[in-house]
A and B are shown apart, each in its own frame.
Chain A
């Protein structure tokens, strides 16, 4: 018998067979995994203000996000993999915001989370990002990240924070508009940030805040506050947000009539509102901070032009399809730039999957200069890896004949301040 099988050959055969099976079983599986890794989409969880008070922002953050992702995918995706956006509504509510992060991490298997504007949603969500160990890139302009209140998993690389915005305005205000400032702001955290940061900054410029008028958040009419504006006021600094802003401007106009002090405001009040809306005539000749000039300027860059075309907004910052639908132009560029930073970070970290999340964070922390480009159409950026906060140019526009005309560009240096935290010392 040639094929006589004894116990020894049987065992040998069995052993070899098992080995071969194991190799056959394991190898293709790991190779299959590698293949799946290399072609499966990178999932980015987009926390969106689809409902609630932030819905106008959410709509435009969504449009910008879609446009940015389309461009990234048209250019070959991230590490050769397509990008897929998974959207969850946060209802502009911190509790639902935290639930959205849980969904991204545990239900949709997202690689990173990204979003949202309102500070309370970011602050309510950030602890969950840290616990779920999912990088959370926010586009909020709050000072919460740089203040050290959050954690190593939360970064704000695509938009400057309110502290930087406010202090970079002080030199222009003091040198061009006046040194005695009356501030009118909503009596909650956002308004208090403006009050505190600007008061310090204007004093550093030799100016002073002569009156601070806090408006309770439930207020719908403002006339009774205006007599508190001191006569010596040279500049009114206003940062009213919410639907009452039209009333506010109208009543301010009725109060002052033709002889008014200089007026400087933050465009936050008028995001998604046409500057030519009836009732806003009084704003003619006043000044606004803009995160990015809403109206295309005479010296418009090619990057600005390409960005507008991709997002679908016209030269007045309104939807091309519906010119009455004005965008949140001063903020939404942050989504575009943040997604490009995620892409750059993932490529420099050779990101393969959730096991590389900490490498991604370290890669983004290592970023410093981001020059103005198609990736960064708002302008040059300087990222501070320690505080997880980006710094950039700020724009001041003047309303002339119903257009926001760029009057001054504050440099990155104007908005720098001392580090308040070093997140890189925190463990992951």
Chain B
């Protein structure tokens, strides 16, 4: 817990010391880290590798953006709709996809995500398809606070990140979290011990989807744009990379992974158009020499107490 509070204090402190651009960057990093944490719950703790998590991110984003734009919802109910949309989608997808395991689960989730992408394009009249739409500045204030300012954005991102961060950290400490790890380690044995693995996995997927949905809704709220590109395969692969880089099954791994990847691309793209190649090489090296991710490797080599 001390470590988690320390991480939040550092993030708070960064606001005061970082130059303007990096304050903006960290606002974005924290939102993406929420997404990564949602993914980590399913992949890192439960051992289920989904290749379609962008659909939950998009469900949160569109649940928020469409209700604001079409029905004039204010921020709070729209945000809630986004979370419910993502959780409901996770329930449906989980109900069907969790009948499969391993590679089949990956493919089924990938297909579901592709369906969600095509559905967004199909209802282009409302969603503006691939172009997406803007959530106007006037629609983005909460309790009288205009969330379009740099300071407000940073603190909104920080508060939402802190809530998810502490909640996930608590969750994985609870018996529920331990049971997920038990399923990850040996599902047969967990079942033999009397745990309803199917139900636990469904619950994990719903929570994971809902947290990803929070990230999507937050992105729409703080950056004012809702678009179909966030439901493409690319955005399903990102959380997997972040979590692998940072350390699957660690609480701060997702944040570290997002920071690392964000700045790797940010800095390398300043030097070459082939920045994805650099990112790829870095990923290969990390997989070779730190297969547990940055935090996972630190935990194994030096700090066994890392959560």
Contact = CB atoms under 8 A, between A and B. Distances in A.
B273 A51 contact: yes
A51 B224 CA distance: 24
Contacts of A88: 269
A189 B28 contact: no
B118 A216 contact: yes
B224 A188 contact: no
Contacts of A105: 20
B257 interface: no
Contacts of A124: 132, 223, 225, 227, 229
Given A51-B276, A151-B137, A217 B121 contact: yes
A124 B133 CA distance: 8
Interface string A345-365: 000000000000000000000
Interface stretch (A125-133, A274-282, A290-298): A125-133
B133 A188 contact: no
A255 B227 CA distance: 36
Interface in B214-248: 223-225, 227-230, 234
B229 A188 contact: no
Q: Which among B129, B137, B230 has the highest number of chain A CB atoms within 10 Å?
A: B129
Interface stretch (A64-72, A73-81, A92-100): A92-100
A300 to B, nearest CB: 34
Contact of B134 (A123, A192, A216): A123
A156 interface: no
B268 to A, nearest CB: 11
Contacts of A187: 121-122, 124
Interface in B245-289: 266, 269, 273, 275-276
B198 to A, nearest CB: 33
Contacts of A94: 132, 225, 227, 229
Interface of A is mostly: helix
A262 interface: no
A15 to B, nearest CB: 38
A89 interface: yes
A188 B223 contact: no
Interface in B16-75: 19-21, 24-25, 28
Interface in B108-165: 118, 121-122, 124-125, 128-137, 148-150
B24 A106 contact: yes
Contacts of A126: 134
B131 A189 contact: yes
A95 B230 contact: yes
B221 to A, nearest CB: 11
User: Of residues B121, B133, B148, which shows the largest number of chain A Cβ atoms within 10 Å of its Cβ?
Assistant: B121
B229 A192 contact: no
B121 A188 contact: yes
B223 A189 contact: no
A144 interface: yes
A102 interface: yes
A24 B125 CA distance: 65
A124 B234 CA distance: 17
A200 to B, nearest CB: 15
A50 interface: yes
Nearest to B129: A189
A187 B25 CA distance: 34
A123 B224 CA distance: 9
Contacts of A142: 131
A94 B223 CA distance: 11
B131 A190 contact: yes
B19 A106 contact: yes
Nearest to B276: A51
Given A103-B21, A189-B131, A131 B227 contact: no
A151 to B, nearest CB: 7
Given A95-B230, A188-B121, A188-B130, A102 B225 contact: no
A292 to B, nearest CB: 24
A386 interface: no
Given A106-B19, A189-B128, A149 B134 contact: yes
Contacts of B24: 102, 106
B218 to A, nearest CB: 13
Contact of B124 (A93, A98, A189): A189
A51 B121 CA distance: 23
Most buried by B among A190, A192, A216: A192
B137 A89 contact: no
A17 B124 CA distance: 72
A153 to B, nearest CB: 11
Contacts of B230: 95
A326 interface: no
B25 A99 contact: yes
A150 interface: yes
Given A99-B25, A107-B21, A127 B224 contact: yes
B148 A131 contact: yes
B223 A127 contact: yes
B104 to A, nearest CB: 22
Nearest to A196: B125
Given A94-B225, A128-B223, A187-B122, A123 B273 contact: no
Contacts of B148: 127, 130-131
B223 A192 contact: no
A93 B128 CA distance: 16
B128 to A, nearest CB: 5
Contact of A188 (B20, B129, B234, B273): B129
Contact of A149 (B129, B133, B137, B149): B133
A328 interface: no
A89 B273 contact: yes
Leading 6 A-B pairs by shortest Cβ distance:
A127-B224, A106-B21, A189-B131, A189-B129, A106-B20, A107-B21
23 contacts: A51-B276, A88-B269, A89-B275, A94-B229, A95-B223, A95-B229, A98-B223, A98-B225, A99-B28, A102-B21, A105-B20, A107-B20, A123-B225, A123-B227, A127-B137, A131-B150, A142-B131, A149-B133, A149-B134, A188-B121, A189-B124, A192-B124, A218-B118
Interface of A: 50-51, 88-89, 93-95, 98-99, 102-103, 105-107, 119-120, 123-124, 126-128, 130-131, 142, 144, 149-151, 187-190, 192, 216-218
Given A88-B269, A142-B131, 12 more contacts: A50-B273, A51-B273, A51-B276, A99-B28, A120-B131, A120-B227, A127-B134, A127-B223, A130-B148, A131-B149, A151-B134, A189-B130
